Amino acid sequence: MSNAALGVLFDLDGTLADTAPDLGDALNQLLIQHGRAPLPFHRIRPQASDGSQGMIRLGFRLEPRDAAYETYRQAFIACYAERILRKTRLFPGIPEVLDALEVRGIPWGVVTNKPARLTEPLISGLGLEGRAGCVISGDTTPHRKPHPEPVLQACARLGLAPRQCWLVGDAERDIAAGRAAGTRTLIARFGYIGPGEDPRTWGADGEISHPQALLDWLHEG
């Protein structure tokens, strides 16, 4: 397949950007406000791909069905929005990969479950605004990953069929969404995969342990 027929879609948290430090600081700020002890980062990092839901589950043992959940979630989002770019950086190797994609004329985009009000300042602050061919946030379409609709929307915005695109993510829902949409899928093993997870069961086309390994898959594809 020629380069012109390729596109790459990245998950945001845990694949494109290392957002866990700011997410963790926001959770710990909220815990302290509620008289609770802050959590060590090694416990927070594996939950970072689940965003606010993962943070509230970890810190307060609350699920969306619980009456207090939404109050805590909104408080967390407020804490996070204040520090969204203090420590967050693109993962090492990602800047070089994005440069290489653009040199090769391969369009790329972002598909995240993060709401647009958090995604947009993050994309802008990381210097990616105007570079990404599309940015699909968690509220861009009626459904979020693992539903295929956000991925299908991203492919359409890149002007490519799903079979012409790779989706790269660090969570099972990323791979499920890509598979359901008809893209090829790669697991970002450098992301926020917890010790109890087994990515081998997710059904992806492959795995990468470093962002630059993506370029090898594109060459082979």
Distance CA(144)–CA(9), nearest Å, equals: 15
For the cut 70, the answer to whether the pLDDT of residue 7 exceeds it is yes
Position of tokens 């012409």?
A: 164
DSSP character at residue 113 = S
Distance CA(125)–CA(122), nearest Å, equals: 5
Residues 36 and 103 in one domain: no
Residues 10 and 43 in one domain: no
Distance CA(221)–CA(216), nearest Å, equals: 8
Residues 63 and 115 in one domain: no
Residues 28 and 55 in one domain: yes
- pLDDT in the model for residue 70: 96
- pLDDT in the model for residue 219: 79
Q: Which of 40, 55, 82 is the last residue of a domain?
A: 82
Residues 108 and 126 in one domain: yes
DSSP-assigned letters across all residues of 61-74: ---TTSTTHHHHHH
Q: Which of 36, 59, 82 is the last residue of a domain?
A: 82
Residues 63 and 130 in one domain: no
Q: Which two tokens mark 17?
A: 């950007």
Residues 13 and 34 in one domain: no
For the cut 70, the answer to whether the pLDDT of residue 2 exceeds it is no
Residues known to be catalytic: 11, 13
Residue 64: pLDDT band (50, 70, 90) is very high
Residue 221: pLDDT band (50, 70, 90) is low
Residue 26 sits in which domain range? 20-82
- pLDDT in the model for residue 192: 97
For the cut 90, the answer to whether the pLDDT of residue 4 exceeds it is no
Residues 7 and 65 in one domain: no
Secondary-structure percent of the chain, ordered helix, strand, coil, rounded to 5: 50, 15, 40
91-137, pLDDT tens digit by residue? 999 999 999 999 999 999 999 999 999 999 999 999 999 999 999 99
- pLDDT in the model for residue 3: 43
Section 63-80 average pLDDT? 96
- pLDDT in the model for residue 5: 59
Section 160-178 average pLDDT? 97
Residues 162 and 194 in one domain: yes
Mean pLDDT over each residue of the chain, to the nearest integer? 95
Q: Which of 61, 82, 103 is the last residue of a domain?
A: 82
- How many domains are there within the chain? 2
175-212, pLDDT tens digit by residue? 999 999 999 999 999 999 988 899 999 999 999 999 99
CATH of the domain at 110: 3.40.50.1000
Residues 34 and 104 in one domain: no
Residues 11 and 98 in one domain: yes
